[in-house]
Protein backbone atom coordinates (compact mmCIF):
# COMPACT_ATOMS: atom_id res chain seq x y z
CA UNK A 1 0.00 0.00 0.00
CA UNK A 2 1.31 3.44 -0.92
CA UNK A 3 -0.31 5.79 1.55
CA UNK A 4 -2.09 5.67 4.89
CA UNK A 5 -3.88 8.85 5.88
CA UNK A 6 -4.37 9.15 9.64
CA UNK A 7 -7.04 11.60 10.76
CA UNK A 8 -7.71 12.22 14.46
CA UNK A 9 -11.04 13.81 15.07
CA UNK A 10 -13.27 15.08 17.81
CA UNK A 11 -16.79 16.13 16.90
CA UNK A 12 -16.22 16.85 13.24
CA UNK A 13 -19.31 15.21 11.71
CA UNK A 14 -19.94 17.96 9.15
CA UNK A 15 -16.44 17.89 7.70
CA UNK A 16 -15.90 14.15 7.31
CA UNK A 17 -17.83 13.34 4.11
CA UNK A 18 -16.30 16.25 2.25
CA UNK A 19 -12.83 15.40 3.49
CA UNK A 20 -13.13 11.70 2.61
CA UNK A 21 -14.37 12.51 -0.85
CA UNK A 22 -11.60 14.99 -1.48
CA UNK A 23 -8.90 12.55 -0.36
CA UNK A 24 -10.39 9.82 -2.54
CA UNK A 25 -10.36 12.14 -5.53
CA UNK A 26 -6.67 12.95 -5.04
CA UNK A 27 -5.75 9.29 -4.52
CA UNK A 28 -7.64 8.14 -7.61
CA UNK A 29 -6.13 10.85 -9.78
CA UNK A 30 -2.64 9.75 -8.79
CA UNK A 31 -3.33 6.02 -8.79
CA UNK A 32 -2.26 5.60 -5.19
CA UNK A 33 -3.31 2.55 -3.23
CA UNK A 34 -4.40 3.96 0.11
CA UNK A 35 -6.33 3.73 3.33
CA UNK A 36 -7.95 6.48 5.35
CA UNK A 37 -7.88 5.87 9.10
CA UNK A 38 -10.35 7.98 11.00
CA UNK A 39 -9.62 7.92 14.70
CA UNK A 40 -12.69 9.06 16.57
CA UNK A 41 -11.32 10.49 19.78
CA UNK A 42 -14.51 10.13 21.81
CA UNK A 43 -16.82 12.33 19.76
CA UNK A 44 -20.22 13.03 21.21
CA UNK A 45 -21.81 13.96 17.90
CA UNK A 46 -22.54 11.70 14.94
CA UNK A 47 -18.96 11.41 13.75
CA UNK A 48 -18.76 7.65 14.27
CA UNK A 49 -21.99 7.02 12.39
CA UNK A 50 -20.62 9.11 9.51
CA UNK A 51 -17.39 7.09 9.52
CA UNK A 52 -19.32 3.82 9.39
CA UNK A 53 -21.42 5.05 6.51
CA UNK A 54 -18.37 6.25 4.60
CA UNK A 55 -16.78 2.85 5.21
CA UNK A 56 -19.77 1.10 3.63
CA UNK A 57 -19.26 2.98 0.39
CA UNK A 58 -15.49 2.74 0.34
CA UNK A 59 -13.64 -0.09 2.04
CA UNK A 60 -10.42 1.98 2.08
CA UNK A 61 -12.03 4.12 4.75
CA UNK A 62 -11.43 2.60 8.17
CA UNK A 63 -12.31 3.78 11.63
CA UNK A 64 -11.20 3.34 15.19
CA UNK A 65 -13.38 4.66 17.95
CA UNK A 66 -12.16 5.54 21.43
CA UNK A 67 -14.34 4.98 24.43
CA UNK A 68 -13.66 8.53 25.56
CA UNK A 69 -11.63 11.58 24.64
CA UNK A 70 -7.96 10.73 25.11
CA UNK A 71 -6.50 13.60 23.10
CA UNK A 72 -4.99 14.10 19.70
CA UNK A 73 -1.68 12.43 20.59
CA UNK A 74 -3.38 9.24 21.70
CA UNK A 75 -5.43 9.18 18.51
CA UNK A 76 -2.30 9.61 16.40
CA UNK A 77 -0.45 6.93 18.32
CA UNK A 78 -3.20 4.37 17.83
CA UNK A 79 -3.58 5.40 14.20
CA UNK A 80 0.16 5.02 13.61
CA UNK A 81 0.12 1.49 14.97
CA UNK A 82 -2.63 0.51 12.57
CA UNK A 83 -1.13 1.94 9.39
CA UNK A 84 -0.09 -0.30 6.52
CA UNK A 85 1.10 2.23 3.94
CA UNK A 86 4.71 2.95 3.05
CA UNK A 87 4.08 6.63 3.57
CA UNK A 88 1.88 7.92 6.34
CA UNK A 89 0.14 11.28 6.10
CA UNK A 90 -1.55 12.91 9.06
CA UNK A 91 -4.06 15.70 8.71
CA UNK A 92 -6.71 17.41 10.75
CA UNK A 93 -10.32 16.54 10.13
CA UNK A 94 -11.60 20.09 9.98
CA UNK A 95 -10.74 20.77 6.32
CA UNK A 96 -8.09 23.30 7.31
CA UNK A 97 -5.46 21.09 5.66
CA UNK A 98 -5.76 20.43 1.96
CA UNK A 99 -5.56 16.85 0.61
CA UNK A 100 -4.15 18.35 -2.60
CA UNK A 101 -0.80 18.48 -0.81
CA UNK A 102 -0.63 14.69 -0.54
CA UNK A 103 1.09 13.84 -3.88
CA UNK A 104 3.91 16.32 -3.29
CA UNK A 105 4.42 15.17 0.30
CA UNK A 106 4.47 11.57 -0.88
CA UNK A 107 7.12 12.44 -3.43
CA UNK A 108 9.31 14.13 -0.85
CA UNK A 109 9.30 11.01 1.33
CA UNK A 110 9.50 8.46 -1.44
CA UNK A 111 11.90 10.10 -3.89
CA UNK A 112 13.73 12.83 -2.04
CA UNK A 113 14.45 10.57 0.90
CA UNK A 114 12.98 12.54 3.77
CA UNK A 115 12.00 10.69 6.94
CA UNK A 116 9.48 13.33 7.90
CA UNK A 117 8.04 16.34 6.13
CA UNK A 118 6.14 18.89 8.14
CA UNK A 119 3.62 21.27 6.64
CA UNK A 120 4.18 24.96 7.11
CA UNK A 121 1.10 27.13 7.22
CA UNK A 122 2.89 30.19 5.96
CA UNK A 123 -0.39 32.05 5.72
CA UNK A 124 -2.74 31.16 8.53
CA UNK A 125 -6.43 31.68 8.88
CA UNK A 126 -6.84 31.51 12.62
CA UNK A 127 -7.45 34.25 15.12
CA UNK A 128 -4.37 36.40 15.40
CA UNK A 129 -4.06 36.79 19.15
CA UNK A 130 -5.21 33.37 20.27
CA UNK A 131 -3.25 31.40 17.68
CA UNK A 132 -0.83 33.16 15.38
CA UNK A 133 1.24 35.16 17.82
CA UNK A 134 1.51 32.50 20.54
CA UNK A 135 2.36 29.96 17.89
CA UNK A 136 5.21 32.11 16.56
CA UNK A 137 6.66 32.22 20.04
CA UNK A 138 6.11 28.50 20.54
CA UNK A 139 7.83 27.66 17.28
CA UNK A 140 10.76 29.92 18.05
CA UNK A 141 11.45 28.26 21.42
CA UNK A 142 11.07 24.77 20.04
CA UNK A 143 13.40 25.64 17.18
CA UNK A 144 16.03 26.96 19.58
CA UNK A 145 15.81 24.02 21.94
CA UNK A 146 15.62 21.23 19.39
CA UNK A 147 17.83 22.82 16.72
CA UNK A 148 15.42 21.60 14.06
CA UNK A 149 14.86 24.23 11.41
CA UNK A 150 11.09 24.11 11.07
CA UNK A 151 8.79 27.10 11.03
CA UNK A 152 5.65 25.29 12.08
CA UNK A 153 6.06 22.33 14.40
CA UNK A 154 2.41 21.92 15.22
CA UNK A 155 1.01 21.72 11.70
CA UNK A 156 -1.45 18.82 11.57
CA UNK A 157 -0.46 18.04 8.00
CA UNK A 158 2.69 15.93 7.99
CA UNK A 159 4.13 13.04 6.05
CA UNK A 160 6.26 10.23 7.43
CA UNK A 161 8.20 7.29 6.23
CA UNK A 162 6.43 4.31 7.79
CA UNK A 163 9.58 3.47 9.81
CA UNK A 164 9.15 6.71 11.71
CA UNK A 165 5.58 6.14 12.84
CA UNK A 166 6.32 2.56 13.81
CA UNK A 167 9.22 3.69 15.99
CA UNK A 168 8.11 6.82 17.79
CA UNK A 169 5.57 7.05 20.53
CA UNK A 170 3.32 10.03 21.18
CA UNK A 171 1.22 10.60 24.25
CA UNK A 172 0.08 13.46 26.47
CA UNK A 173 0.17 16.52 24.26
CA UNK A 174 3.29 15.53 22.44
CA UNK A 175 1.79 15.67 18.98
CA UNK A 176 3.20 19.18 18.88
CA UNK A 177 6.72 17.85 19.10
CA UNK A 178 6.68 14.90 16.76
CA UNK A 179 9.60 16.29 14.74
CA UNK A 180 11.59 16.61 17.97
CA UNK A 181 10.73 13.07 19.04
CA UNK A 182 11.60 11.78 15.58
CA UNK A 183 14.92 13.56 15.58
CA UNK A 184 15.89 12.07 18.90
CA UNK A 185 14.85 8.66 17.68
CA UNK A 186 17.45 9.06 14.96
CA UNK A 187 15.38 10.23 12.01
CA UNK A 188 17.38 13.21 10.93
CA UNK A 189 16.11 13.97 7.45
CA UNK A 190 13.35 16.32 8.43
CA UNK A 191 11.92 18.58 5.76
CA UNK A 192 9.32 21.24 5.40
CA UNK A 193 6.77 22.11 2.78
CA UNK A 194 4.69 25.24 2.57
CA UNK A 195 1.06 24.15 2.63
CA UNK A 196 -2.20 25.91 2.03
CA UNK A 197 -4.20 26.58 5.14
CA UNK A 198 -7.90 27.27 5.15
CA UNK A 199 -10.39 28.76 7.51
CA UNK A 200 -12.20 26.21 9.61
CA UNK A 201 -15.35 25.50 7.69
CA UNK A 202 -17.46 23.75 10.31
CA UNK A 203 -17.36 23.46 14.09
CA UNK A 204 -14.91 25.19 16.41
CA UNK A 205 -11.34 24.75 17.58
CA UNK A 206 -10.74 22.02 20.15
CA UNK A 207 -7.68 23.57 21.73
CA UNK A 208 -7.82 26.50 24.14
CA UNK A 209 -5.26 28.52 26.02
CA UNK A 210 -4.12 25.70 28.28
CA UNK A 211 -2.39 24.11 25.30
CA UNK A 212 0.53 26.46 25.88
CA UNK A 213 1.16 25.42 29.44
CA UNK A 214 0.68 21.72 28.76
CA UNK A 215 2.67 22.02 25.60
CA UNK A 216 5.70 23.47 27.31
CA UNK A 217 5.60 20.96 30.11
CA UNK A 218 5.63 18.23 27.49
CA UNK A 219 8.59 19.78 25.74
CA UNK A 220 10.49 19.77 29.01
CA UNK A 221 9.53 16.13 29.57
CA UNK A 222 10.75 15.14 26.15
CA UNK A 223 13.99 16.99 26.68
CA UNK A 224 14.66 15.34 29.99
CA UNK A 225 13.65 11.86 29.06
CA UNK A 226 15.66 11.86 25.89
CA UNK A 227 18.69 13.59 27.34
CA UNK A 228 18.81 12.12 30.80
CA UNK A 229 16.30 9.27 30.79
CA UNK A 230 19.01 6.66 30.58
CA UNK A 231 21.56 8.50 32.73
CA UNK A 232 19.72 10.60 35.32
CA UNK A 233 22.85 10.73 37.44
CA UNK A 234 24.58 12.93 34.87
CA UNK A 235 21.93 15.50 35.47
CA UNK A 236 21.18 15.08 39.16
CA UNK A 237 24.78 14.36 39.97
CA UNK A 238 25.97 17.72 38.67
CA UNK A 239 23.08 19.72 40.14
CA UNK A 240 23.19 17.84 43.43
CA UNK A 241 26.95 18.18 43.92
CA UNK A 242 26.89 21.82 43.01
CA UNK A 243 24.05 22.74 45.35
CA UNK A 244 25.57 20.70 48.16
CA UNK A 245 28.91 22.41 47.59
CA UNK A 246 27.40 25.90 47.64
CA UNK A 247 25.48 25.14 50.83
CA UNK A 248 28.57 23.63 52.40
CA UNK A 249 30.77 26.63 51.53
CA UNK A 250 28.24 29.11 52.90
CA UNK A 251 27.95 27.17 56.13
CA UNK A 252 31.72 26.87 56.57
CA UNK A 253 32.10 30.53 55.83
CA UNK A 254 29.56 31.45 58.50
CA UNK A 255 31.36 29.21 61.02
CA UNK A 256 34.80 30.58 60.21
CA UNK A 257 33.46 34.09 60.53
CA UNK A 258 32.23 33.21 63.95
CA UNK A 259 35.53 31.56 64.98
CA UNK A 260 37.49 34.61 63.83
CA UNK A 261 35.23 36.85 65.80
CA UNK A 262 35.70 34.66 68.86
CA UNK A 263 39.49 34.46 68.47
CA UNK A 264 39.90 38.21 68.24
CA UNK A 265 37.24 38.86 70.81
CA UNK A 266 35.16 40.83 68.34
CA UNK A 267 31.67 40.99 69.66
CA UNK A 268 29.21 39.06 67.49
CA UNK A 269 25.52 39.47 67.60
CA UNK A 270 24.26 36.33 65.93
CA UNK A 271 24.69 32.58 66.02
CA UNK A 272 25.27 30.81 62.71
CA UNK A 273 21.84 29.31 62.93
CA UNK A 274 20.38 32.71 63.66
CA UNK A 275 21.04 34.11 60.20
CA UNK A 276 18.45 34.29 57.44
CA UNK A 277 21.09 33.63 54.77
CA UNK A 278 21.74 30.22 56.22
CA UNK A 279 18.12 29.18 56.08
CA UNK A 280 17.30 30.77 52.79
CA UNK A 281 20.16 28.99 51.08
CA UNK A 282 19.19 25.65 52.54
CA UNK A 283 15.51 26.08 51.88
CA UNK A 284 15.82 27.14 48.28
CA UNK A 285 18.17 24.32 47.48
CA UNK A 286 16.12 21.65 49.13
CA UNK A 287 12.86 22.76 47.59
CA UNK A 288 14.34 23.10 44.13
CA UNK A 289 16.00 19.74 44.16
CA UNK A 290 12.93 18.06 45.55
CA UNK A 291 10.47 19.52 43.10
CA UNK A 292 12.65 18.59 40.25
CA UNK A 293 13.27 15.11 41.44
CA UNK A 294 9.57 14.52 41.96
CA UNK A 295 8.73 15.65 38.44
CA UNK A 296 11.43 13.56 36.96
CA UNK A 297 10.55 10.44 38.90
CA UNK A 298 6.94 10.85 37.85
CA UNK A 299 7.98 11.06 34.24
CA UNK A 300 10.18 7.98 34.52
CA UNK A 301 7.42 6.00 36.13
CA UNK A 302 4.89 6.96 33.50
CA UNK A 303 7.36 6.08 30.77
CA UNK A 304 7.85 2.64 32.18
CA UNK A 305 4.24 1.91 32.85
CA UNK A 306 3.00 -0.82 30.53
CA UNK A 307 -0.37 0.89 30.64
CA UNK A 308 0.76 4.17 29.17
CA UNK A 309 -0.53 3.42 25.70
CA UNK A 310 -3.60 1.46 26.62
CA UNK A 311 -6.67 3.11 25.25
CA UNK A 312 -10.03 1.46 25.35
CA UNK A 313 -11.25 1.00 21.83
CA UNK A 314 -14.97 0.86 21.57
CA UNK A 315 -15.31 -0.17 17.96
CA UNK A 316 -13.43 -0.74 14.75
CA UNK A 317 -14.69 -0.52 11.21
CA UNK A 318 -13.34 -2.09 8.00
CA UNK A 319 -10.40 -3.80 9.63
* Interacting residue with ligand UDP among 71, 79, 179, 191 (CB under 6 A): 71
Closest to ligand UDP by CB, 92 vs 192, is: 92
Binding track, positions 167-206, relative to ligand UDP; x by CB under 6 A? --------------------------------------xx
Stretch that binds ligand UDP, among 7-15, 80-88, 247-255, 302-310 (CB under 6 A): 7-15
Closest to ligand UDP by CB, 207 vs 224, is: 207
Q: How far is the CB of 173 from ligand UDP (least distance, A)?
A: 9
For 213, other C-beta atoms within 10 Å of its C-beta total 10
Quote the crossing angle between the two packed helices 276-304 and 210-228, to the nearest 10°.
80
Binding track, positions 92-131, relative to ligand UDP; x by CB under 6 A? xxx-x-----------------------------------
* Residue 38 near residue 64 (C-beta atoms within 8 A): yes
Closest to Mg ion by CB, 193 vs 206, is: 206
* Interacting residue with ligand UDP among 79, 119, 156, 179 (CB under 6 A): 156
Q: How far is the CB of 113 from ligand UDP (least distance, A)?
A: 28
Closest to Mg ion by CB, 161 vs 176, is: 176
Quote the crossing angle between the two packed helices 133-146 and 210-228, to the nearest 10°.
0
Q: How far is the CB of 256 from ligand UDP (least distance, A)?
A: 59
- Which residues inside 249-288 make contact with Mg ion, applying CB under 5 A? none
Q: How far is the CB of 31 from ligand UDP (least distance, A)?
A: 27
- How distant is the alpha carbon of residue 101 from its chain centre? 23
- Which residues inside 72-111 make contact with Mg ion, applying CB under 5 A? 92, 94, 96
Is 152 among the residues that bind ligand UDP (CB under 6 A)? no
Closest to ligand UDP by CB, 35 vs 92, is: 92
Residues at the contact surface with Mg ion, assessed by CB under 5 A: 92, 94, 96
Residues at the contact surface with ligand UDP, assessed by CB under 6 A: 8-10, 12, 41, 69, 71-72, 75, 92-94, 96, 156, 205-207
Amino acid sequence: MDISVVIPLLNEEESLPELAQWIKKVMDQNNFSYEILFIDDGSSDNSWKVIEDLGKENSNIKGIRFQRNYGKSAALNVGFEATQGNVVITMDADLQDSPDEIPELYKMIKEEGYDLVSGWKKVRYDSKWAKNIPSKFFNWTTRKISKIKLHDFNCGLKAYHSDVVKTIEVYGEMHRYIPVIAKWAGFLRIGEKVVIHQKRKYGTTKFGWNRFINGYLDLISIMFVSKFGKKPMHFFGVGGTLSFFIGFVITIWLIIQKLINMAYNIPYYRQVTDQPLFYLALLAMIIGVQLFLTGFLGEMISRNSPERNKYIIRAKNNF
